[in-house]
A = this chain, B = another copy of it.
Amino acid sequence: MSNLLVAQSGGPTVAINATLVGVLQGVRASGKIDKVYGAKNGIEGAIKDNLIDLNELIRDTKAMDTLTYTPSSALGSCRYKMKDWRKDDEPYRKIIETFKKYDIKYFIYIGGNDSMDTVDKLSEYCSLNNHDFFIMGAPKTVDNDLNLTDHSPGFGSAAKYIATTIAELERDINVYDIPAVTIVEIMGRNAGWLTAAAALARVNGGTGADLIYLCEKDFDNERFIADVKKKLAEKPGVLVAVSEGVKDSTGAYVSDQMSSGAVDNFGHKYIAGAARALEQMVRNEIGCKCRSIELNLMQRAAAHIASETDIIESLMLGQKALTCALDGQTGKMAAIKRLSDKPYLVEFISVPVNEVANHEKVVPMEWITPDGHDVTEEMMDYLKPLIQGETNLKYENGIPSQIKLY
């Protein structure tokens, strides 16, 4: 018997189940796997012997189709960080026990940075202990901060949601003829890729976000207020996009500047976001109408506006990870290599996971305009292909169809 275990980890995206489906499609097509199991709540399911039988699902075409368009991790997720096995090898031994108990030969872990760290450590542990398992990673993160892959599954769909939402907000904030500033906070503590996607609202000629501040660039309060005043002189409705993780030159989060002094009636500190802090700043410094909006979990959960390109690539990466495992690869991650922007061409490769784990791919400074409040044409060329196409998502009784695996 040679069975397969698959698991999902880290923050949810709308494409992580497409990659799971890609793995299952590969299993069905290869005919080389006897049984398929899913680990519940990521690697924790393997440690705790908490598996889900996926052998019925794999034969249910309709369910597989619905799963492709269901947001978030259908197998559950975790934030578990594996310790160094030299210090504590107990979780490693438990995982091996589970592998042996279920005759598991192949393990595919779909996730971000921490998950690739798990793939790295576990594959190293197995090799050094002469365990014959094949362990592959498949990428996933809305933040798009994974190393050695052109971009990551989930990012394109989040970017499409952000571009669409900014374009819709542009219409909304421009109906009145009075000065008003709207500040939209977008996910990204250290990487501004998602915030850059706000510029995609312009692809059909709109202004989109008038000002875009990425967390890679030091944020200057005075320059920000000056930028906003300048835009207000040109038009009444000013739309600002800002990374949640913008920091000043000392490395202090902008969100802390304002909220540090704020306490509620119980004396508890208010944890305000960056947009909220900037909203206060605009009220205090300019005094015009100002509103802050957090795209919050919607930007990583909005499967109804997923990018077809993103979903197809996510499926392909799941299939690629399986193929690599069947070919005897281990300690690698399936990745996307871009061959050209126009026409948009990619190929699917595998990369050493130890060069992915614990690295963070941030936006190159040269893709941020010198004035610090916009992105360059190179960034636009990089982003545009990733939001192309709409999916075949089915609706039932007026809302998108979804599936639950447990």
Question: Which residues on the B side are within 8 Å of A389 (C-beta)?
Answer: 398
Size band of the interface chain A makes with B: 35 or more
Bound CA span A76–B175, Å: 4
Question: Which residues on the B side are within 8 Å of A395 (C-beta)?
Answer: 390
- In the complex, are the beta carbons of A262 and B270 less than 8 A apart? yes
- In the complex, are the beta carbons of A397 and B293 less than 8 A apart? no
- In the complex, are the beta carbons of B398 and A76 less than 8 A apart? no
Which of B165, B262, B264, B293 makes the CB contact (< 8 A) with A264? B262
Is there a chain B Cβ closer than 8 Å to A71's Cβ?
yes
- In the complex, are the beta carbons of A304 and B399 less than 8 A apart? no
Shortest Cβ gap from A12 to chain B (Å): 5
Question: Which residues on the B side are within 8 Å of A206 (C-beta)?
Answer: 402, 404
Q: For the complex formed by this chain, how many copies does it contain in all?
A: 2
- In the complex, are the beta carbons of A303 and B168 less than 8 A apart? yes
Closest chain B residue, CB of each to CB of A276: B270
Question: Which residues on the B side are within 8 Å of A304 (C-beta)?
Answer: 164, 168, 304-305
> Which one of A175, A268, A272 has the greatest number of beta carbons of chain B within 10 Å?
A175
- In the complex, are the beta carbons of A400 and B71 less than 8 A apart? no
Question: Which residues on the B side are within 8 Å of A354 (C-beta)?
Answer: none
Which of B203, B257, B270 makes the CB contact (< 8 A) with A270? B270
- In the complex, are the beta carbons of A163 and B200 less than 8 A apart? no
Given contacts A167-B402, A203-B397, contact A172 B260 (CB under 8 A): no
Which residues of A in the span 128-176 have a Cβ within 8 Å of any Cβ on B? 160, 163-165, 167-169, 171-176
Question: Which residues on the B side are within 8 Å of A78 (C-beta)?
Answer: 176-177
Which of B76, B173, B182, B284 makes the CB contact (< 8 A) with A177? B76
Given contacts A257-B265, A264-B258, contact A293 B284 (CB under 8 A): no
Is there a chain B Cβ closer than 8 Å to A314's Cβ?
no
Which of B41, B73, B172 makes the CB contact (< 8 A) with A71? B172
Is there a chain B Cβ closer than 8 Å to A201's Cβ?
yes
- In the complex, are the beta carbons of B260 and A265 less than 8 A apart? yes
- In the complex, are the beta carbons of A399 and B293 less than 8 A apart? no
Is there a chain B Cβ closer than 8 Å to A263's Cβ?
yes
Closest chain B residue, CB of each to CB of A267: B261
Is there a chain B Cβ closer than 8 Å to A288's Cβ?
no
- In the complex, are the beta carbons of B200 and A398 less than 8 A apart? yes
Question: Which residues on the B side are within 8 Å of A305 (C-beta)?
Answer: 304-305
Is there a chain B Cβ closer than 8 Å to A82's Cβ?
no
Contact segment of A51-59, A240-248, A294-302, A329-337: A294-302
Question: Which residues on the B side are within 8 Å of A203 (C-beta)?
Answer: 396-399
- In the complex, are the beta carbons of A400 and B280 less than 8 A apart? no
Shortest Cβ gap from A196 to chain B (Å): 15
Show 20 A/B contacts (Cβ-Cβ < 8 Å), sorted by A.
A41-B176, A165-B302, A168-B304, A169-B301, A172-B301, A173-B297, A182-B297, A203-B397, A203-B398, A203-B399, A204-B402, A261-B264, A261-B265, A270-B272, A291-B296, A294-B294, A298-B298, A384-B397, A388-B397, A389-B398
10 smallest beta-carbon distances between A and B, as pairs: A387-B398, A261-B265, A72-B171, A77-B175, A203-B397, A168-B301, A172-B301, A73-B175, A293-B296, A262-B262
Identify the A interface with B (CB < 8 A). Answer: 12, 41, 44, 70-73, 76-79, 160, 163-165, 167-169, 171-177, 182, 200-201, 203-204, 206, 257-266, 268, 270, 272, 280, 283-284, 291, 293-294, 296-298, 300-305, 307, 384, 387-390, 395-402, 404
